Amino acid sequence: MAEQNLFEEVKRHLCSCSADLQITPNLEAVMKMPMRELHVSIPVRMDDGSIRAFSGFRVQYNDALGPTKGGIRFHPDETIDTIRGLAAIMTWKCALHNLPLGGAKGGVICNPKTMSSGEIERLSRAYIQATSHFIGPDRDIPAPDVYTDSEVMAWMMDEYSRIFRKTTFGVITGKPVSLGGSEGREDATARGGWFVIREAAKDFGIVLEGAKVAIQGFGNVGAHAAIIGQEQYSVRVVAVSDSRGGVFAREGLDVPALLEHKKKTGSVMDFPDARNITNEELLALDVDILIPAALENVITIDNASRVKARFIAEFANGPVSGDADALLHARGVPILPDILCNGGGVIVSYLEMVQNFNLDHWERGEVIARLERKMVDAYRAVYNLASGNNVPMRQAGYTIAVGRVVKAMKYRGWV
């Protein structure tokens, strides 16, 4: 099977709503390409004294609604098409959640697991040195993503501030709270996703207490998804997996103990009182809710027929390929799409921006309440459009989001 291209998948989703919105072929062609992108070579001195050049990217997809926003990921398999696809997803995600922001994404081809903390810091600062003219608090605001975290964001913010000789908290979000970060940012993606699941469970007739949940991916988002699901919604997290494999326990996993096990061993595998399984086996488990929370294209046309979950909640970006999406819809398996379900991260990033601009700091309860309102409003809009027109929720979400961007482009006289 040919490898799925995330950017091509996202363009297909755009096509699915073009007829509904009466988008002309010329406008559709414009919206299928990023407005700007930057490719950089980043020389970094390694601990052994050698100099290594890393390839980096920053893509600003569309800024019709406002400054662009999007994470920076460090990953050994990064590609420019993946970054383009993720920047497009961010554009539609911001629009769907009614944020005054466009979409962007950045990345560096590297393997942080084989690098020291000092090497990662030097790479982080060098990335900002190479892109500082391209980003800014009123132009393009990065955030954490795969294999980057609040510490990396602190280094990047500090480097930008050094270059422009003034402390600029607002250039980066996802920072430590003591450096202008927002309360509630660390678990925002997972928490926002659970607000959507809670609403969807009501519409799909699923009682969350005791519901069986499988989580593919046990990084920051997946781990918080397991914690929040178990502690606040009383679900049974029966399976989780990471890059090495997964574990399954029919009566539910002890999530806090599992977190400690992974911290000690580096993987969830071989957890006591659980059976080791593969990622593929996890995706095919008979559960109520399947949460892909890792990377893109994990559910494809090759394995979609084996999915037994009552619905899928995309906590990751692009985890279900277009062909698989159509097959699952035909089978009556609802998908809570990424642009809806994992919008919590960018929403709280936006709230962090607002606090930085106002030199303010909100309590955690206020941040969570604002996040909940945004997530519930977006879910209701998507569900009502999807159910009223008998279309997949992804198509409904794209129709709403693309419509808002098109309207902004027309008002600005771009088209």
- Catalogue the active-site residues: 105
Gyration radius from the chain CA atoms: 20
Coil, strand or helix at 113: helix
Provide the residue type at 410 as one letter. Answer: K
Residue 107: what are its φ and ψ, rounded to 5°?
A: -165, 160
Measured distance CA(231)–CA(248) in Å, rounded: 19
Would you state the structure tokens that stand for residue 157, as one six-digit string? 């913010």
Q: Is the dihedral of CA 72, 56, 298, 266 positive or negative?
A: negative
- What's the angle, vertex CA 14, arms to CA 11 and CA 20, rounded to 5? 155
User: What is the arrangement of strands in the sheet containing 51-62, beginning at the earlier edge strand?
Assistant: 36-45, 51-62, 102-109, 68-75, 140-144
Q: CA distances (Å), 342 to each of 17, 72, 194, 292, 352, in order?
A: 21, 16, 9, 11, 17
